[in-house]
Structure 1
Amino acid sequence: MTAPKISFVIINHNYGQYVGQAISSVLSQDYAEFECVVLDNASTDDSRDVIARFENTDPRLAFECLDDNLHQMGAFLHVLDRLAGELVCIVDADDFLFANFAAFHAQLHCDCPTIGATSGGVLETDHAGRPLSSGFAWLLHRRVGSPLDPDRSHSDHMILERRERELLWQQSTVIEPHEPGWHWSPGTANMYKRHYLVRCKPSLAVVGNAATDNYFMPFVHALAGSACIDLPLSAYRIHGGNVHGAQPSLPNLRTFSKAAHQRSRVRRSAMVRELASRARDFVSTHGHAFWTLMDAPSVPDGISLKAYFNDPAIQDILADHFDEILAACGEAETREALRARMGRKGYKQFLALQGQRKSRPDSRADGG
């Protein structure tokens, strides 16, 4: 078996004080099979000068300076189809990797070939890289995951030395696709199989400036499951300008601002829109998982399926693409699935809304 190639994608905007360490940490990996694409999102600080220092230092590095700030998701979609790696890690420019990051993730993907993503532990640091706390993800996935069974590993490929591989097995948890919720560390800590990213690649018009992990991790997990490594393999830098966690975990509990939580909720609804608009496509390949996929965005928000599917924003998405869902699942299955999620009263109100929309000359059904 050939060692899998990893594509690291570093996306930077005005993190000149940090991006150099992010690049250096990728180049310092003790696993050599990788490429690293550095995208600068129209920075106005000294980021491009910092990035330029790395040009022509390693043939595995590639750089692109964008004229406009495409935000994280836009920049990643800009480059996704050009990536050569079987595995993909999207590196936040203010984070950095430890030297064993790539090897541990690649080994786990080899040992668990059916999973779609892996997530490592993080060491939270301050702006200068000084340790603050050990992160939080283990508390989340230990509730639902099961220990990795080495006897079920289908890989004879030894990326790690035997002692390290045994440590990986001891510290890894496999989470089945039917287990909803958020089980993972943020952003940089995650590594995906590229073909699953391509499989659920969204339209930028749908997801806007969503964070990549916020969209891809629940989606890929619902498609193929995931595995978590209870070892700190990267650093999550807390410097006051973070989109989500602006304070360290206290203890092992992520702190979010109310505004950031609301943004996450809105962005995860993009997953529902992508699924609904391509329902026949997903049902043809993942029929058994379609409604599980539809449920996935609700759980990280800590609300019931009934409350989520009766949210006017979600009902608008379903109404936009109701004909597509009917064509994919059939009337009986669609009725049963939505009634189970909305309740009888909610489903009746949804059908009334759908009828009103169809009667309007500017109806958006399956056009949105």
Structure 2
Amino acid sequence: MRPFEDKDQTMEAAGAATSISASGLASGLGGDKKSLRLPLVSVIVINFNYGRFLGATVDSIFEQTYPNIECVIVDNASTDESGEVLRQIEQCRPNVKIVRRTTNDGQTPAALDGFAASNGHYVIFVDADDLLLPHCVETHVFVHLSLRVHVGFTSGDMIQVVDDQVVLGTEHAFNRTILERPFVKRDAARPYRHVLGPPWPDESFDRSILDTIRFVPMGANQWVWAPTSANCFRRDALALFADSPSLRGLRTGTDIYFCLGINAVSGSVLIDQAVAVYRLHGGNVYSRRPQLNHVLCYEPGGAGDSNALAKAYLIDHLIERADRFVGLGWTKFDYARLLWRLDCPNPDRAGPPWARRSRLASGLVNYFKIFARVLGPLHAKALMLASRVPWAEIRRLR
């Protein structure tokens, strides 16, 4: 079991392998030509009362074409047939890790428990009613290892399914970004081929996906990716954001918290290929029916919609951990720009108008001592002025 610490192993070793002779590197590793493996990918399934889908979801994980996967299932105190399905999975697949929670505190705490129980350098969170297409993990890893820009996560497209019938082959927000962004420059990726072990990927793998990937602007402050199950995160990127105490109170919105935060710090890439299946059954929070152009398919601000709270918690974390992000190489100016890009209205409506208008303004006041210690009082107060915190409020801070 690993907590949310940063990993000290570098992930550039695999990419560099293509420029070093296999025999030379093997001799430096004690002569064992197969001592370098492809990265372990942790696929973490979050389940609550989806026992009717869970078996098929787990089967889709074990049908992956990628050779190095661990599966972690987190059950959120289900009350349906999930318990029996989990017992069957344990009997048939003893290498699956199962985390049984005694209470259902929502999607985010379950995801954090699964993350703590996992070991992979790459992590995919899967909703228990979704399916992974057979090439999903292999596609994500191939893109990560081929990129010259080491982004925090990749996002593939999703097929939308109703009653086991495909009704849409793409996802709306993902499509919008693909149409707006130009094709990636040819020199931004170099096709990876693993030589220190069994050759990978094999000749049947479609390497042309590198010609159609898109980099998402780091300034993006709205959702532009596919939903949860289509995203593959670097573990060390997740670790930058997963230790916020507030996350234990965030029931949904896990993906928007991690995707917005990680993209703002280290960028992300869209893979223009479907890698997963989004099953629509009427109980989905954000897609109760197939997407239709200019027609919302969910109830904004309705039950289960925690997107506003997720954005607010992200701002809080960036302010509370100013020492982390400035210490990682961000200049004070760039760090301030990062906060401005991600600012959002404050879902806490109890404060004065200026605090309700901006979570950043509210957070800078609430965490002034922490923030000022890193940026210095003058820089901190200048940022507060730029965020339209009243001067009378700023003057009283020490």
Q: Is TM-score (shorter-chain normalized) higher than 0.5?
A: yes
Partner of 2:42: 7
* Distance in 2, Cα, partners of 1:225 & 1:81: 24
Correspondences of 1:1-368 after superposition (within 5 Å): 1=14, 2-112=37-147, 114-126=150-162, 128-133=163-168, 134-142=170-178, 145-153=181-189, 156-158=192-194, 159-161=200-202, 164-206=205-247, 208=249, 209-251=251-293, 255-260=297-302, 263-288=306-331, 289-298=334-343, 311=357, 313-340=359-386, 342=387, 346-347=388-389, 349=390, 351-354=391-394
Secondary structure in 1 matching 2:317: helix
Q: 1:206 to 1:36 in 2, by over 3 A?
A: closer
* Distance in 2, Cα, partners of 1:334 & 1:73: 31
* Distance in 1, Cα, partners of 2:329 & 2:95: 35
Q: 1:50 to 1:151 in 2, by over 3 A?
A: same
* Distance in 2, Cα, partners of 1:103 & 1:300: 39
Confirm or deny: 8 A CA contact 1:137 1:252 kept in the other structure.
Answer: no
How far residue 40 of structure 1 moved from its aligned partner, in angstroms, is: 0.6
Confirm or deny: 8 A CA contact 2:319 2:364 kept in the other structure.
Answer: yes
Query: Counterpart amino acid of 1:233?
Result: V
Query: Counterpart amino acid of 2:308?
Result: R
How far residue 243 of structure 1 moved from its aligned partner, in angstroms, is: 1.5
Query: Counterpart amino acid of 2:67?
Result: A
Partner of 1:362: none
* Distance in 2, Cα, partners of 1:140 & 1:252: 12
How far residue 103 of structure 1 moved from its aligned partner, in angstroms, is: 0.6
Secondary structure in 2 matching 1:259: coil
* Distance in 2, Cα, partners of 1:327 & 1:170: 45
Partner of 1:304: none
Deviations 1:299-320 (A, max 9, x none): 799xxxxx99762654332211
| Higher Cα radius of gyration | 2
Q: 1:11 to 1:272 in 2, by over 3 A?
A: same
Q: 1:163 to 1:55 in 2, by over 3 A?
A: closer
Task: Name which of structure 1's ranges 54-63 and 36-45 shifts more when overlaid on structure 2.
Answer: 54-63
Relative to the length of structure 2, the TM-score reads 0.78
Q: Give the % identical residues.
A: 24
How far residue 203 of structure 1 moved from its aligned partner, in angstroms, is: 2.6
Confirm or deny: 8 A CA contact 2:129 2:279 kept in the other structure.
Answer: yes
* Distance in 1, Cα, partners of 2:157 & 2:134: 14
Gaps of 5+ in 2: 1-13, 15-36, 195-199, 347-352
Deviations 1:236-263 (A, max 9, x none): 1121111212121113876331224963
Q: 1:145 to 1:308 in 2, by over 3 A?
A: farther
Confirm or deny: 8 A CA contact 1:223 1:286 kept in the other structure.
Answer: no
Confirm or deny: 8 A CA contact 1:146 1:174 kept in the other structure.
Answer: no
Confirm or deny: 8 A CA contact 1:140 1:184 kept in the other structure.
Answer: no
Confirm or deny: 8 A CA contact 2:253 2:306 kept in the other structure.
Answer: no
* Distance in 2, Cα, partners of 1:328 & 1:144: 38
Q: Which has the higher helix share?
A: 1
How far residue 323 of structure 1 moved from its aligned partner, in angstroms, is: 2.0
* Distance in 2, Cα, partners of 1:191 & 1:27: 17
Secondary structure in 2 matching 1:55: helix
Query: Counterpart amino acid of 1:275?
Result: L
How far residue 130 of structure 1 moved from its aligned partner, in angstroms, is: 1.6
Deviations 1:83-105 (A, max 9, x none): 21110000001111110101101
Aligned-pair RMSD on alpha carbons? 2.8
